[in-house]
Amino acid sequence: MICNHSSWWDGIWALHLNQQLFGRKFHFMMLEEQLRKNWFFRYTGGFSIRKTSRSVVESLAYTAELLSNNQNLVLMFPQGKIQSIHRSEFIFEKGIEKVLKLTQNNVDVVFQVNLTDYFSNAKPSVFLNATSYSGEQTRAAMQIAYNSYYRQCIGQQKMKES
């Protein structure tokens, strides 16, 4: 599952989506310093990556190993950091393509877009959008397709204003 990352709630929403739709064992990659600070995420499927270290190769190999079992679902935030929900485009880091190349079987890729809005409510609502991706499994192709889907979800969100 490839998802935008605008808050720490994104992982919780992806977990919920997994429980409702897929029912697979849930895993997600998290920056090592964040996982140390939020250690409880280890118990919800979190595993670490340290982007500035050679251990990044081990983390990517571990992710591919998880994906080799079709009973697992791995959430990835390919932009590698929390970014504003108001971005018009996400730039994917190289890890997503490396993981898919290392994986021993075909991987079903799902795009998830999380959007929040208040409209006329005192509390925000979250809108979870998901679609299957069946295109080329390269970083460039997935980045283009994800950004297109993200813009489509924003357009649908605007229609909810009426």
Measured CA to CA, the distance from residue 86 to residue 63 in angstroms comes to 29
CB atoms within 10 A of CB 128: 17
pLDDT of residue 146: 97
CATH of range 2-159; options 3.40.50.150, 3.40.50.1370, 3.40.1130.10, 3.40.980.10: 3.40.1130.10
Half-sphere exposure of 74 toward its Cβ, with a 13 Å CA cutoff? Answer: 25
- What are the CA-CA distances from residue 122 to residues 13, 57, 117, 118 (Å)? 20, 45, 10, 7
pLDDT given at position 14: 95
- Report which residue type is found at 119: F
CA-based angle 141:147:153, to the nearest 5? 135
CA dist., res. 157 & res. 162, Å (int): 10
Domain boundaries, the chain: 2-159
Q: Which two tokens stand for residue 143?
A: 């980045």
> Is 81 within 8 Å of 87 (Cβ atoms)?
no
Cross-strand pairs, 47: 29
pLDDT of residue 89: 92
pTM for the full predicted model: 0.90
pLDDT band at 122 (very low <50, low <70, confident <90, very high): very high
Q: In the β-sheet with 46-49, what is the strand arrangement from edge to edge? A: 46-49, 25-31, 72-75
Percent pLDDT > 90 in the chain is 59
| Of the candidates 6, 74, 82, the residue with the CA atom closest to the CA atom of residue 45 | 74
Given a contact cutoff of 8 angstroms between Cβ atoms, the answer to whether 70 and 105 are in contact is yes
How many other C-beta atoms can be found within 10 angstroms of the C-beta atom of residue 36? 11
Tens digit of each residue's pLDDT (9 = 90 or more) over 24-67: 999 998 888 888 998 888 888 999 888 777 888 899 999 999 99
